[in-house]
């Protein structure tokens, strides 16, 4: 509330100018209601995450002054203590993967460290990228996450068992021949 309005209201009351005092009183009440409305909107606009984390996407500066619909994604927050690893596995290799298998991850941002992980889930939906099909495989880092940050990329290797060297070399060619043969059969 403006101190000037309050001073004028007190002056009108002291001079027994009830008409001016009534108008000024209504203006003071209107200003108080507006201030309470602003305070209420500020309280409702407060965003609090249910956990400590790092904002990985979303920019509030682009939303200033714009109405926000209920259910609209404003931010994505990644927890700093429980990371999930997402592997992109080529469609030719996904058949060898299963939940519970272990592997190792080398990240470009941490080249000297190798992180162990356990496969949690192989999603049944392929994603096309760069002219190839990939399946998303979700894994969980074993042990501490150390210096991991959201969005880090690298190379992961999953232990699927031992194979003879000849099988490793010939397997892609045999699969290609089998698929080509099947395509030409009636």
Looking at every residue in the chain, the average pLDDT score rounds to 85
> 180 pLDDT exceeds 80?
yes
Query: What pLDDT, on a 0 to 100 scale, did the predictor assign at position 66?
Result: 80
Closest alpha carbon to 148 in 50, 56, 60, 74: 56
Q: Which residue has the higher pLDDT, 41 or 126?
A: 126
Cut 0.85: pTM above it = no
pLDDT band at 72 (very low <50, low <70, confident <90, very high): confident
Q: Give residue-wise pLDDT tens across range 82-139.
A: 778 889 998 888 888 899 999 999 999 888 888 899 999 998 888 898 888 999 999 9
CA–CA distance, 24 with 10 (Å, rounded to integer): 9
Query: What pLDDT, on a 0 to 100 scale, did the predictor assign at position 120?
Result: 93
3-state SS class at 40: helix
Q: Give residue-wise pLDDT tens across range 141-176.
A: 887 767 778 788 899 999 988 889 998 899 889 988
Query: What pLDDT, on a 0 to 100 scale, did the predictor assign at position 1?
Result: 56
Closest alpha carbon to 28 in 51, 47, 52, 4: 4
């Amino acid at each position: 509330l403006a101190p000037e309005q309050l001073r004028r209201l007190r002056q009108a009351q002291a001079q027994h100018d009830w008409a001016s005092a009534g108008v000024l009183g209504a203006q003071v009440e209107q200003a108080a209601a507006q201030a309470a409305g602003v305070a209420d909107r500020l309280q409702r606009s407060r965003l609090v995450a249910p956990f400590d984390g790092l904002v990985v996407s979303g920019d509030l500066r682009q939303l200033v002054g714009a109405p926000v619909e209920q259910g609209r994604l404003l931010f994505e927050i990644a927890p700093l203590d429980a990371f999930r690893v997402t592997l992109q596995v080529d469609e030719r290799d996904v058949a060898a993967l299963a939940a519970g298998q272990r592997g190792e991850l080398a990240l470009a941002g941490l080249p000297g460290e190798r992180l162990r992980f356990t496969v949690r889930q192989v999603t049944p939906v392929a994603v096309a990228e760069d002219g190839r099909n990939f399946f998303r495989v979700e894994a969980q880092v074993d042990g501490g996450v150390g210096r991991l940050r959201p969005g880090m990329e690298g190379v992961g290797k999953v232990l699927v068992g031992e194979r003879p060297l000849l099988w490793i070399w010939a397997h892609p060619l045999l699969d290609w021949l089998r698929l080509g043969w099947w395509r030409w059969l009636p």
